[in-house]
Amino acid sequence: MSEKYHVAVIVGTRPEGIKMAPVIHALATRGDTLRRSIVSTGQHREMLAQALSLFSIEPDVDLALMTPDQSLSGLTQAAIGGLTECLSRLRPDMLLVQGDTTTVFAASLAAFYGGIPVGHVEAGLRSHDMANPFPEEANRRLTSVLAGLHFAPTPLAREELLREGHDLARIIVTGNTVVDALLGLSETLGPGRCPLLRELAPQAGRFVLVTSHRRESWGEALRHICAAVADLARAFPDVAFVYPVHRNPHVREVAFPTLGGLPNVLLTDPLDYRSFVPLMRDATLILTDSGGVQEEAPTFRTPVLVLRQVTERPEASRLGLAKLVGTDRATIVAEATRLLTDETAREAMRRGPNPYGDGRAADRIAEAICRFAAGDRPVLPTDQQFQDQEGPQP
């Protein structure tokens, strides 16, 4: 190549920033072949800025699209318009997106309209339920249709793409980049108990980490989840329950009235990633509807109860590292009680490899892009791709 291959990396939310950070750095190490532009839509402005700052990343372009209580259609319209204009100026050779947000779909559509190839990081996740998660299941399916390279995090994600008719030659199994980010950050945390918990609940011997904010949980489901946490807090007064509450009013208007008066429930504002990671590491148990936490917790062997009806990340459940429990109050209480009272059951969820990655996903993605730019085929040899970590199912 006479000129460097130009990759525009798009981020919009905190998870995108965290998961793209290792890729952005890996692309920088191939500066003799590639050049990169980092574009932020600002879909989650403050939380994205925190994540990028943690990894010493500064966007080249910030579209600043976030507005209060923004509708999906309004965000999509603004993102397509802003990204179309941005890409016409940058003129990249490839657009790189991550995951399943509105930013991802809008960027992919804008690139498609502009004739720019799309590389999709974390491709192939499927719940097979368009309402769960909403609107992410639609976003990622539509992005797969538009993408030219599919960076699947696991062999299962590759199989999902193949079932939909995507070309095997354009699917590269990489592992999930969040494991790269987590391992890199963990090296800087040091040993010892989570500093935030020492500050918030110095007397707590054990604690449960709670996260619940997903759009499909708003309303009745979130009320059930919060009621279940309240039941557990009353049943286990010696256990702290730490809940970083999303800023969205649909979440806060349920969480604070239900849980705010309980002495062993600690409701905090959203935490920066450096503070959140040791909470995942040190928790006795995690209750979550987050997709990212499902991928991150196995790195620390922390048991997870998934507060969703379906999950597009079933690998941990198949290994027994997580369990899907839905949003029914009684079910959540029963399953959490079992794990808080039965050490054997808890330890059974702390075994086995992390099926989501080995810390080398970003390097695989950068290498594949270099080979694709040079016209090398296969884009990444099979023996260099992430291998199946699931092993025998329990």
Tell me what the mean pLDDT of segment 44-61 comes to: 90
pLDDT of residue 88 exceeding 90, the answer is yes
pLDDT of residue 275 exceeding 50, the answer is yes
For the stretch 157-204, pLDDT in tens is 999 999 999 999 999 999 999 999 999 887 777 665 566 666 655 566
Do residues 229 and 243 make contact, with C-beta atoms less than 8 angstroms apart?
yes
pLDDT of residue 110 exceeding 80, the answer is yes
* pTM: predicted TM-score of the whole model, two decimal places: 0.89
Instruction: Tell me the catalytic residues.
Output: 100, 122, 136, 213, 215, 246
Q: What is the pLDDT of residue 352?
A: 77
Give which of 219, 215, 266, 222 is closest to 244, Cα–Cα.
266
Tell me what the mean pLDDT of segment 212-221 comes to: 87
Share of the chain above pLDDT 70, in %: 94
CATH classification of 195-348 is 3.10.129.10, yes or no? no
The set of residues, in sequence order, having a beta carbon less than 8 Å from that of 40 and lying 6+ positions away, is: 10, 11, 12, 48, 52, 59, 61, 62, 63
The letter for the amino acid at 328 is D
For the stretch 372-387, pLDDT in tens is 999 999 999 999 999 9
∠ CA 135-140-145 to the nearest 5 degrees? 130
For the stretch 276-294, pLDDT in tens is 998 999 899 999 999 889 9
User: How is the chain split into domains, by residue range?
Assistant: 5-176+358-384, 195-348
Gap between the Cα atoms of 10 and 98, Å rounded: 8
Tell me what the mean pLDDT of segment 116-139 comes to: 95
User: Do the domains 5-176+358-384 and 195-348 sit in the same CATH topology, yes or no?
Assistant: yes
- Residue 260 CB burial class (10 angstroms; 0-12, 13-18, ≥19): exposed
Gap between the Cα atoms of 138 and 154, Å rounded: 20
For the stretch 311-342, pLDDT in tens is 999 999 999 999 999 999 999 999 999 999 99
Gap between the Cα atoms of 43 and 101, Å rounded: 9
CA distances for 332 relative to 125, 180, 271, 309, angstroms:
25, 31, 24, 12
Gap between the Cα atoms of 87 and 78, Å rounded: 14
Do residues 161 and 150 make contact, with C-beta atoms less than 8 angstroms apart?
yes
Q: What is the pLDDT of residue 194?
A: 63
Share of the chain above pLDDT 90, in %: 78
The CATH classification number of 5-176+358-384 equals 3.40.50.2000
Secondary structure (3-state) at 188: coil
Tell me what the mean pLDDT of segment 251-270 comes to: 94
